[in-house]
Amino acid sequence: MISKYKVANAAPTIPTECVIGLDRDGVINKDLGTYCTHPNSFEPIPGSLEAIASLRQRGHKIVVITNQGGIEKGLMTPEDVNAVNNYMLDLLGKSGCPSIEAIYYSESSNKKDMYAKPNIGMFKRCEKENKHIKFSTGFYVGDKMSDYETFEQFLARKTKEEEAERQRRAEYEDREWRRMASLLETKQKIEQSRSHHDIVDQSKKIYESLKK
């Protein structure tokens, strides 16, 4: 399962540069070794909110991508996660960050969940639903080595898919070029054939007129 938290008051007028993807717990707020189930337990890491605000003011796109496995375990609900995210956004606003692009969170940490890190589903869906976001021109910041491995895996898969798409387009364009060349050649042959017949017909007419 995956939830997309739509950020209110996004500011598309802010010039956008590269994408900065962020994990939440352990990057923005302190990881207290348990799930953050209530705004009261959200404790920002000193300087994190100001750093995000500084990046945003420079025109970078900010996206939060995080596992929230406590939902699957029954320790919290999506509403609890949204309440924490709302509180985080409020703190960001007070720190000088008026908006971010989006927040995506998985509802489990299960490796069989395509959207839970270390799987790359959240990254793919984020790009699909936000056409202006391209992680190939950005970064992802996490607090675990698996976060970086996930991002590298996503970029490698994306590069492979893009190369396959370029190859497919090149093959299609080559087929279209050959088809058009064949049509042009056929057209020229038809025109040459008609010209030949016109000459023969004209010669016959001249011959018949001389006989008279």
Question: pLDDT tens digits for 90-112?
Answer: 999 999 998 999 999 999 988 88
pLDDT of amino acid 149: 76
Question: Per-residue confidence at 66, pLDDT binned at 50, 70, 90?
Answer: very high
Mean pLDDT over the full length of the chain: 79
Is a pLDDT exceeding 70 seen at residue 160?
no
Spell out the residues 6+ positions from residue 22 whose beta carbon is closer than 8 angstroms to its own.
28, 52, 62, 63, 64, 65, 140, 141
Taking residues 46-55, report their average pLDDT. 95
30-31-32 Cα angle (round to 5): 100
Cα(27)–Cα(121) distance, integer angstroms: 20
Three-state DSSP state, 7? coil
Three-state SS letters, 65-130: EEECCCCCCCCCCHHHHHHHHHHHHHHHHHCCCCCCCEEEEECCCCCCCCCCCCCCHHHHHHHHHC
Q: Which amino acid is at 51?
A: A
pLDDT of amino acid 116: 87
Q: Quote the pTM value.
A: 0.67
Question: Per-residue confidence at 9, pLDDT binned at 50, 70, 90?
Answer: very low
Active site residues: 23, 25
